[in-house]
Amino acid sequence: MTTAPISAPAMERANGNTKLEVCDFSAFYGNEEVLRGINLPVPRNEILAVFGPAGGGKTTLLRSMNRLVDNTRGAHHRGRILLDGKDVFAPDVDVVNLRRRVGMIFALPVPLPMNVYDNIAYGPRMSGGRDRKSLDEAVERSLQRAAMWEEMKDRLEESALHLSGGQQQRLSIARVLAMEPEVILLDEPTAALAPVSTMKIEQMLTDLKRQCTIVIVPHSIQQAARLADHAAFILMGELVEYRPGNELFTAPSDRRTEEYITGRFG
């Protein structure tokens, strides 16, 4: 059922189109296997939507890609996740550097309890940025890319906790952009937001894929269909189907995918 699309990565890697590739990857918390033998290429400068019912392992997959799982007790894995062909779990990989290349946005907006400027300058400062002028530039550039420079430029000294939910989430994206990441992971980034904010963020992601590769766990099937260049349906730890978005959502090849996207379960 998944043979045709899964054979694609080899071809895509050959012409350098695969940014991130999940290879025969299984993830465990203690003895519980939450992901089973996932194979999933993420084409460069595309949006990959990873969707499926809750508890299926989507978040674990994202948190494995930037190794935030390292901080979860009892988490371990089998298989590999290749970033530009190099396993992110390899012993010589600097995890701090990995996370600078692979940024992450969470379901609930998490402004750090500091002002707008310091939130965005956080990443650059952590990697040693001290020079005020280049920090200023990074803050402005990131806010501009997140399409919120105009509304934020006079509020940089304001606490980020006072922003609206939608603004906080776009700020979180700007904060990740300040690190100039190559890949951006988003775990249901619009789950807590109003439709207008959701629209802004979707627009932003579509613009961003020119510079970055994006993996998103969408908060609805409609959102997956709107955004996905490729889509992966994950059900109880297994990859059921991986295909270009326009094919998967119009003509799913697996019965379970079809049942899920037509709302028969989940």
Partner 1 sequence: MTAGKTRRAGAQVAERIAFALIWTSALATLAVLAFIVLYILDLGLPHVSWRFLTSAPEEMGREGGILPTIIGTIVLTLGAVAIAAPLGIGAAVFLTEYTWESPVTRAIRFGAEALAGVPSIIFGLFGFIFFVTYLKMGWSILSGSLTLAIMILPTIIRTAEEAIRTVPNPYRDVSFGLGATRWQMVTSVVLPNALPGIITGIILAIGRSVGETAAVIFTAGTALNMPTSLVSPLRTMAVHFYILAIEGISLEKAYATGAILIITTLTVNVLANWLIVRAVRRHRRKS
Q: Which is nearer to partner 1, 160 or 235 (CB)?
A: 160
Residue 193 touching partner 1 (CB under 8 A): no
Give the shortest CB-125-to-partner 1 separation in angstroms.
8
Task: Return phi, psi of residue 181, to 5°.
Answer: -75, 155
Give the shortest CB-152-to-partner 1 separation in angstroms.
18
Both tokens of residue 203? 């627009």
Q: Which is nearer to partner 1, 142 or 197 (CB)?
A: 142
Candidates 104, 96, 148, 153; CA nearest to 127 is: 96
Stretch that binds partner 1, among 8-16, 34-42, 109-117, 225-233 (CB under 8 A): 109-117
Q: How many chain residues interact with partner 1 (CB under 8 A)?
A: 25
Residues 6+ apart with CB under 8 A from 34: 27, 28, 57, 60, 237
Give the shortest CB-156-to-partner 1 separation in angstroms.
18
Residue 113 touching partner 1 (CB under 8 A): yes
Q: Which is nearer to partner 1, 46 or 187 (CB)?
A: 187
Radius of gyration over every alpha carbon of the chain, rounded to an integer in angstroms: 18
Q: Which is nearer to partner 1, 128 or 263 (CB)?
A: 128
Question: Is 74 within 8 Å of 51 (Cβ atoms)?
Answer: no
CA quadruple 233, 239, 245, 248: dihedral, nearest 10:
-80
Stretch that binds partner 1, among 2-10, 138-146, 168-176, 247-255 (CB under 8 A): 168-176
Residue 157 CB neighbour total at 10 angstroms: 9
Q: What span, in angstroms and rounded, lies between the C-alpha atoms of 7 and 12?
A: 9
Q: Which is nearer to partner 1, 120 or 240 (CB)?
A: 120
Residue 158 touching partner 1 (CB under 8 A): no
Q: Which is nearer to partner 1, 100 or 200 (CB)?
A: 100
Give residues 48-107 in contact with partner 1 (rule: CB under 8 A): 66, 68, 71, 73, 96-97, 99-100, 103-104, 106
Question: Is 193 within 8 Å of 169 (Cβ atoms)?
Answer: yes
Q: How far apart are the first and last CA of the chain?
A: 21
b/e code 191-218 from CB counts within 10 Å (16+ = b): bbbeeebbebbbebbeebbeebbbbbbb
Residues interacting with partner 1, by CB under 8 A? 66, 68, 71, 73, 96-97, 99-100, 103-104, 106, 108, 110, 112-113, 122-123, 125-127, 161, 172, 175-176, 179
